[in-house]
């Protein structure tokens, strides 16, 4: 059963063309962990920590974090102040479209039972997600990306009238061919997520 579902989606690949930015302003969100870059035209961060440096009030921050689409997500809460980011982003290219998507969230549970316990004991494990959808078009790169196991960026819209959506990095792990019905290719595609699934309202124009 899908934990989340929606109507339409888009699949992007990061091109080999990358650009760097320096000293770009970013805003720490209310959770004090999420740092989103102010200039959303720079979205599409390359997920390589060696290409990023984060600063608070001019001093480098070395706390561990995850790199995502347009943001840095710290493991622990951070202090408020003036935040800036040096980093690298890749130009994005739309390589596929999908509809009737669903996302399954999973939470691995680790066994913590000790000898002599009467009941099993469990500990919180890692979070993860997978997605599946019907697809209505792909380009030639779509298949080569799947065959090579290259990372993609998946955007799943929750409302066809707004840009509200979930965005996640991941890999294509299954493609099922379909026949054309009234001009739509009714095939199926599945994804395995890498890292967190984030909520975003960035307009498609900014990441086209």
Please state the rounded mean pLDDT for residues 103-120.
74
Q: Looking at residue 1, what is its pLDDT?
A: 40
CA 75 vs CA 80, 106, 112, 167: distances in Å: 15, 19, 23, 19
Closest CA to 130 of 159, 165, 171: 171
What are the tens digits of pLDDT across the range 119-170?
777 666 667 888 888 865 666 666 677 676 677 888 888 876 778 888 999 8
Q: Is the pLDDT of residue 205 over 60?
A: no
CATH fold for domain 4-14+92-207: Elongation Factor Tu (Ef-tu); domain 3 (2.40.30)
Q: Which residues of the chain are in CATH 2.40.30 domains?
A: 4-14+92-207
Phi-psi region of 142 (alpha: psi -120 to 50; beta: other; left: phi over 0): alpha
Q: Looking at residue 14, what is its pLDDT?
A: 83
> Average per-residue pLDDT in the chain?
82
- The rounded distance, in Å, linking the Cα atoms of 8 and 47 is 25
The answer to whether 65 and 72 have CB atoms below 8 angstroms apart is: yes
Q: Looking at residue 89, what is its pLDDT?
A: 94
Please state the rounded mean pLDDT for residues 96-120.
76
Q: Looking at residue 126, what is its pLDDT?
A: 62
The answer to whether 196 and 167 have CB atoms below 8 angstroms apart is: no
């Amino acid at each position: 059963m899908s934990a989340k579902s929606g109507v339409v989606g888009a699949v992007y690949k990061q091109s080999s063309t990358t650009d760097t930015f320096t000293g770009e302003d970013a805003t720490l969100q209310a959770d004090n962990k999420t740092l989103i870059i102010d200039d959303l035209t720079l979205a599409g961060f390359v997920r390589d920590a060696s290409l990023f440096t984060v600063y608070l009030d001019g001093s480098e921050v070395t706390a561990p974090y995850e790199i995502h689409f347009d943001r840095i997500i710290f493991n622990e809460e951070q202090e408020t102040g003036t935040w800036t980011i040096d980093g690298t982003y890749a130009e994005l290219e739309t390589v596929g479209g999908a509809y009737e998507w669903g996302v399954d969230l999973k939470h691995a549970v680790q066994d913590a039972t000790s000898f002599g316990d009467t009941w099993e004991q469990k500990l919180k494990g890692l979070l993860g997600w997978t997605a599946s959808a019907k697809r209505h078009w792909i380009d030639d790169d779509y298949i080569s990306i799947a065959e090579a196991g290259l990372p993609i960026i998946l955007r799943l819209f929750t409302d066809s009238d707004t840009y509200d959506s979930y965005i996640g990095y991941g890999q294509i792990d299954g493609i099922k061919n379909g026949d054309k019905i009234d001009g739509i290719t009714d095939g199926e595609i599945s994804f395995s997520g890498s890292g967190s699934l984030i909520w975003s309202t960035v307009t498609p124009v900014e990441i086209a």
